[in-house]
Amino acid sequence: MRKLMGLLGVAVLSFGTAVSADSTPGDTMVTLGENLTPAQKEKVLEEMNVPADVQTITVSNAEEHKYLGEYIPKAQIGTKAISSSKITTTESGSGLNVETQNISWVSKEMYTNALSTASVKDADIFITAPFEVSGTAALTGIIKAYETTTGEKIPEEQKQVANEEMVTTAKLGEDIGQEDATQLIERIKEEVAAQNPQSLQEIKVIVNNISNELNITLTDAQTDQLAGLFNKMKDLNINWDQVNTQIDKAKEQWDSFKNSEEGQGFLQSIIDFLQSIVDSIAGLFK
């Protein structure tokens, strides 16, 4: 059930422990917010279900501002690094599996999309915090942990674009809903990979076509913002086939879970819980 519900998270970094670049499936790295109290740190590690000697990276608030300062207000980033995450490498071709808890703004699908843009692949990612946070800071820590565990260096420009994508999708989700915002980004990625646009105008045409296809109404400002984001992406050395493969694998994992006995039981428990609330309210009027 823990894997099912997921957890929330963050972080950035200030290397605490060196890790071998020769990553093998099952290798685990944890990022811990620099400002966690000893009790909070203990709680987070317990939720992650990791051994006491697990490899860790400490994440600072300064690095959170480094990667997010251009996209969201400083007040939203805050002054303390609290969120934490666990990343476990998996078999090649397995895709990304992201779980969150105590995340109020960024969905696990948004993380999956942004991480795939940053070239993070084949990993189980578990994100958590001792209390509810927006979740914007998690991406940087996960990318840093992935680099440390695998030895793969991700260009700074790609990290910045991944963070911008996450924030852009989350903001768009406030207006059109998280599910529609996530689906819109995924479909634009598919078309960018298929069409290989060479200009901002060509990208804008793709954005308009996909939004119309999905019956999503965008303002001119939102269209321009999305076109600008994907224009930055086209100038980076992004493996679009790999990006879309990671997203497709994540969808397959969710579909498989939903159809499993465990998944059906979990969904039924949600339905039963909601029904109990309805019954309780109805009882007040009897």
Per-residue pLDDT tens for 210-263?
Answer: 999 999 999 999 999 999 999 999 888 787 777 877 777 766 765 554 465 655
Query: Which two structure tokens, joined as six digits, stand for 85?
Result: 């995450």
3-state secondary structure of 198: coil
* Three-state secondary structure string covering 228-278: HHHHHHHCCCCCHHHHHHHHHHHHHHHHHHHHCHHHHHHHHHHHHHHHHHH
What confidence category does residue 12 fall into, taking pLDDT thresholds of 50, 70 and 90?
Answer: very low
What is the average pLDDT value for the chain, to the nearest integer?
Answer: 83
Write down the pLDDT at residue 274.
Answer: 57
Cβ-Cβ contacts under 8 Å for 170 (sequence gap 6 or more): 105, 106, 107, 110, 136, 178, 181
With cut-offs at 50, 70 and 90, classify the pLDDT of residue 10.
very low
Write down the pLDDT at residue 15: 30
pLDDT over 50 at 103, yes or no: yes
8-state DSSP, 72 = S
**pLDDT class of 97 with cuts at 50, 70, 90:** very high
Residue 181 pLDDT more than 70? yes
- Mean pLDDT, residues 156-162 taken together: 93
Are the beta carbons of 8 and 101 closer than 8 angstroms?
A: yes
The answer to whether 125 and 87 have CB atoms below 8 angstroms apart is: yes
Please give the pLDDT value at position 235. Answer: 84
pLDDT at 20: 40
Q: Is 48 exposed, middle or buried (0-12, 13-18, 19+ CB in 10 A)?
A: buried
Of residues 73 and 1, more confidence is placed in 73
pLDDT at 149 over 80: yes
How many CB atoms are located within 10 Å of the residue 257 CB? 16
Is the whole-model pTM more than 0.85?
A: no
Which residue did the predictor score with more confidence, 197 or 136?
197
Q: What mean pLDDT is predicted for residues 100-121?
A: 91
